[in-house]
Copies of this chain bind each other. A is one copy, B any other.
Amino acid sequence: MPPTVFIVSDGTGITAETFAHSILSQFDLKFRLVRVPFVDSYDKAYATAEKINAAAIQEQRRPIVFTTLVDTGSNEILKGTQALVMDMFQSFIQPLELELDTKSNHAMGRGHGNADTEEYKNRIEAINFSLAHDDGQSNRSLAEADVIFVGVSRSGKTPTSLYLAMQYGVKAANYPLIPDDFERGKLPTALYDHRSKLFGLTIDPTRLSEIRNERRPGSKYAAPENCRYEVNEAEAMMRREGIKWLSSTHKSIEEIATTVLQEIRLDRSPY
């Protein structure tokens, strides 16, 4: 039976869970994860402590608890349970208080997804922008874009654009490079006014063919020789036009986004 891991937070618990996940993935074991979000009162802390103790009895072993509760009293309630309690916040906040010679404000639910902030509004606006400027749908207000991705169909432009918008409030447009462009030997006209914002994505033709075949099996669009042609032409065009680019073949949208943020010097905080 896999060890039970509770992730207790006064907010959504998303930051805590992502972090706990990174740590747990260092072990070649399976874990049973129980996320307990919105623990923002003593009542809820006591209810959580009961759940933890019940798991300890039932499984006859100490559960593991990651907590990012900011409230000291609630944290103490958890520390009274039959569990290995790892306090993700206080471990770092106490040394920081010493170093900075200042007290932390013990504010709950900060730093992640607060809907009533300017930062949050910017993210939602960026998502709307990226959706409206997906796949070359619109040239309107392209000047507002922070970055414009170009690349052949299915090279990863759309998910990368949405990820940058959602996580960083980056207004990311994207434009497909299509056979028409290759025949003309030129980028889509609308892009020439925004060359400094262009960023290319390319992809291994064999992988591209696989991806396109899932969408349109047996089509010319998905055929290996067509994919090779499009990718070659797109790369040649990006080289000719001096557009920075990278290959998405083995890269996740997180990895592409991190590289792009460094390149376009738009390195912003996630929220």
Which residues of chain B are within 8 angstroms of A255 by Cβ–Cβ distance?
Answer: 11-12, 113, 115
Which residues of chain B are within 8 angstroms of A116 by Cβ–Cβ distance?
Answer: 250
Contact assessment for A25 and B111 in the assembled complex, using a CB-CB cutoff below 8 Å = yes
Enumerate chain A interface residues (CB-CB to B < 8 A). 3, 11-15, 17-19, 21-29, 33, 35, 37-38, 62, 64, 66, 68, 70, 84, 86, 88-89, 91-93, 95-96, 99-100, 102, 104-107, 110-116, 120, 124, 127, 131, 134, 158-159, 162-163, 166-167, 248, 250-255, 257-258, 262, 267, 269-271
Contact assessment for A267 and B35 in the assembled complex, using a CB-CB cutoff below 8 Å = yes
Question: Within the assembled complex, what's the spacing in Å between the Cα atoms of A163 and B127?
Answer: 10
Closest 5 CB pairs of A and B: A113-B254, A113-B252, A25-B111, A26-B104, A22-B111
Contact assessment for A15 and B26 in the assembled complex, using a CB-CB cutoff below 8 Å = no
Contact assessment for A258 and B93 in the assembled complex, using a CB-CB cutoff below 8 Å = no
Q: List 29 A-B contacts (CB under 8 A).
A: A3-B100, A12-B257, A14-B254, A15-B19, A15-B22, A21-B111, A21-B270, A22-B68, A22-B111, A23-B111, A27-B96, A28-B105, A29-B100, A38-B258, A66-B92, A84-B99, A86-B96, A88-B92, A112-B254, A113-B253, A114-B252, A115-B252, A115-B255, A116-B250, A124-B253, A127-B158, A159-B166, A162-B166, A166-B166
Contact assessment for B37 and A102 in the assembled complex, using a CB-CB cutoff below 8 Å = no
Contact assessment for B159 and A22 in the assembled complex, using a CB-CB cutoff below 8 Å = no
